[in-house]
Amino acid sequence: MTQRGGTTVRRIVRTLSEICVTAGALIVLFVVYLLFWTGVRADSAMDGEIGRLQDRWSTGPVTAPARPPAPGGRTAPAARPRAYPPGASFAVMYIPRLGADWAKPVLEGTAPDVLKRGLGHYDRTAHLGQLGNFSVAGHRRTYGDPFKDFPRLRPGDAVVLTDGTTWFTYRIDNRPYTTLPGDIGVIDPVPPKSGFHGPGRYLTLTTCEPEWGHSHRLIAWAHLDSTQPAARGRPSALSS
Amino acid sequence: MYGWIWRHLPGNTWVKALISLVLALTVVFILFQYVFPWAEPLLPFNDVTVDQGMAAVR
């Protein structure tokens, strides 16, 4: 082999190895971003949402402003609440089973950018505490891992929510149920496979299954067990 | 590739090292700020709902 040929081979080998090292570093950085950085960003975003909610609840009146009378003189039914503003937080969820300090904001909508800042309320489902199925989705992994320990939920576990005026205590009714991504029946007002019969005040939690995959979804159903005004302090489910 | 960059940086070894560090940090910043947020939705970790792309159905 000539001197020049050796130089060319050396240059090719060197460039190839440099590309490999660069690709490896890129992958390591991406893993760091996914496992660490999205969590840092999501935790600060969720803390910010909860702080904003608590500021709003402690300063302003939290009751919904009076609705203008409906045209035609008919009064709107009182049970029909105001729509939650899209992309904004309106409640805080506590699940003692997932940790004594586990508290996440619930935002309106389930778009990916909403789920980066907290749990997402399916906007077509019932409102908090109302007749129907209040359905919430959350990340299992990345973005703060809010539902990392979802499979540990058991019947009887409390899911406590507050909207600033009322504490709602839901109780889980089933072990986490695995289903397919297109099974939108699970967030129906009366989900067919939940074991609920007839209309009621239900709650559905959804996340991905398996932990790092997207082939299935994990579902938990709960029913409204009790409510109490925020003025009477935190419900007993949170202090035990 | 890296040798070529090193040879084209101005200054003595210390200046070159400093510029290299700044360049590397800039690349990491661009990756974390723009490239990874774009690539991340292509992975399955965002699929936590049961109705993705089915909003029009109901």
The structural domains of chain A, with segments of one domain joined by +, span 36-62+84-239
Position B40 scores a pLDDT of: 86
Q: For residues A53 and A165, is the Cβ–Cβ distance under 8 A?
A: no
Residue span of the structural domain in which B31 resides: 2-41
| B11–chain A nearest CA distance, Å | 24
Architecture of domain A36-62+84-239: Beta Barrel (2.40)
Active site residues of A: 139, 208, 217
Q: Give the count of domains, chain B.
A: 1
Per-residue confidence in pLDDT tens, chain A, 240 aa: 566 778 899 999 999 999 999 999 999 999 999 999 999 999 999 999 999 999 999 886 655 544 444 444 444 444 456 789 999 999 999 999 999 999 999 999 998 889 999 999 999 999 999 999 999 999 998 899 999 999 999 999 999 999 999 999 999 999 999 999 889 999 999 999 888 999 999 999 999 988 888 889 999 999 999 999 998 889 998 986
Residues 24-53 (B) with a CB less than 8 A from some CB of A: 28, 31-32, 36, 39-41, 43-52
Checking A179-185 for CB contacts under 8 A at 24+ apart, the result is A179/A216, A179/A217, A179/A219, A179/B50, A180/A216, A180/A217, A181/A214, A181/A215, A181/A216, A181/A217, A181/B47, A181/B50, A181/B52, A182/B50, A182/B51, A182/B54, A183/A217, A183/B50, A184/B50, A184/B51, A184/B54, A184/B57, A184/B58
Question: A107: which chain B residues are within 8 Å (Cβ-Cβ)?
Answer: none
Contacts of A159 (CB under 8 A, 6+ apart): A93, A94, A95, A169, A170, A171, A172, A203, A205, A222
Question: B43: which chain A residues are within 8 Å (Cβ-Cβ)?
Answer: 34
**Chain-chain contact of B48 with A219 (C-beta, under 8 angstroms):** no
Q: Does residue B55 lie within any of the structural domains? A: no
Q: Does residue B57 lie within any of the structural domains? A: no
Q: For residues A134 and A128, is the Cβ–Cβ distance under 8 A?
A: yes
Position A66 scores a pLDDT of: 44
Q: Does residue B24 lie within any of the structural domains? A: yes
Nearest-5° Cα angle at A203, A197 to A227 = 100
